[in-house]
Amino acid sequence: MSHSATTVGSNTYDRIKHDIIFGDLEPGAKLKLDGLRDRYSASVSTLRETLNRLASEGFVQAAEQRGFFVRPVSAGDLTEIAKLRILLECSALETSIECGDADWEGNLVAAHHKLHLIEQKMLDGDTSQKELWKRYDGEFHQALIRACNSQNLLSLHATIFDKYLRYQMLVFTSRGQEAVEEHKTMFDAALARDPVKAKAALETHIRLGLEHTLAAMSEL
Q: What is the DSSP string of 103-155?
A: HHHHHHHHHHHHHHHHHHHHHTT--TTHHHHHHHHHHHHHHHHGGGS-HHHHH
Reported residue count of the chain is 220
pLDDT of residue 66: 86
- Bridge partners, 30 (sequence order): 69
Query: What is this structure's pTM?
Result: 0.90
What would the mean pLDDT of 98-108 be, rounded to a whole number?
Answer: 98
Q: Is residue 2 scored above 60 in pLDDT? A: no
pLDDT at 55: 96
Judge contact between 60 and 51, C-beta under 8 A. Answer: yes
Q: For residue 52, is pLDDT > 70?
A: yes
106-161 pLDDT, tens per residue? Answer: 999 999 999 999 999 999 989 888 889 999 999 999 999 999 999 999 999 999 99
Q: Say what percent of the chain tops pLDDT 70.
A: 96
Q: Is 149 left (phi over 0), alpha (psi -120 to 50) or beta?
A: left
